[in-house]
């Protein structure tokens, strides 16, 4: 079991609203909430940077955290402005979410609402090996669409 150190920045987190947590026993991502003082009226095609209310430190260089939109909200148009957030193991600062309303309608986000999810994943950091050529494969260098034309 890996531990994740968090430092509470918004006193409502863990009291009024739950800490980041998994919504079900088999959930891959922890739900993250917005720590707002009032509802955020996100107009169509606008972006706003909001706080998740905590700072964190992973500390293990073999792990990174990915911030992803919640699928139901993403379908309605609320996604992350950077599409996927990447949090390095040595980062110790506040977690913020770039919320982008890509829909044509205003989206209202309530204080404490779950808007994103965080997934911890392993990191592979290979050494770069420069070669003159690759070992042959059936596909070779055939690119876009090359495997779906049969």
> Which residue from 66, 118, 71 is spatially nearest to 87, judged by alpha carbons?
66
Question: How far is the C-alpha of 86 from the C-alpha of 71, rounded, in Å?
Answer: 18
Give the rounded percent of residues in the chain with a pLDDT score beyond 70: 96
75: Cβ–Cβ under 8 A, 6 or more apart, which residues? none
**Residue 11 pLDDT > 80:** yes
Domain encompassing residue 31: 5-122
On whether residue 22 sits in a domain, the answer given is yes
On whether residue 36 sits in a domain, the answer given is yes
CATH number at residue 26: 2.70.40.10
How many other β-carbons are positioned within 10 Å of the β-carbon of residue 134? 8
**Residue 149 pLDDT > 70:** no
On whether residue 55 sits in a domain, the answer given is yes
Joined tokens for residue 82: 């950077």
On whether residue 18 sits in a domain, the answer given is yes
- The pLDDT tens digits for 119-130 are 999 999 999 999
> Which residue from 52, 18, 47 is spatially nearest to 35, judged by alpha carbons?
52
On whether residue 90 sits in a domain, the answer given is yes
**Residue 27 pLDDT > 80:** yes
3-state secondary structure of 62: coil
Number of domains in the chain: 1
Buried b / exposed e over 82-110, threshold 16 CB at 10 Å, is eeebebebebeeebebbbbbbbeeebebe
On whether residue 49 sits in a domain, the answer given is yes
Distance of CA 125 to the CA centre of its chain: 20
Q: What is the pLDDT of residue 75?
A: 81
């Amino acid at each position: 079991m890996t531990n994740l150190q968090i430092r509470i920045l918004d006193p409502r987190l863990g009291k009024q609203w739950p800490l980041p947590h998994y919504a079900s026993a088999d959930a891959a991502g922890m739900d993250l909430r917005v720590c707002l003082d009032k509802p955020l009226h996100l107009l169509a095609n606008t972006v706003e940077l909001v706080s998740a209310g905590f700072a964190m430190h992973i500390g293990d260089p073999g792990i990174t955290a990915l911030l992803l939109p919640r699928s139901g909200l993403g379908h309605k148009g609320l996604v992350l402005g950077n599409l996927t957030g990447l949090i390095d193991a040595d980062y110790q600062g506040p977690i913020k979410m770039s919320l982008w309303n890509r829909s044509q309608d205003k989206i209202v986000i309530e204080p404490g609402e779950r808007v994103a999810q965080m997934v911890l994943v392993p990191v592979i950091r290979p050494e770069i090996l420069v070669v003159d050529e690759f070992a042959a494969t059936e596909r070779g260098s055939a690119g876009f669409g090359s495997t779906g034309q049969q």
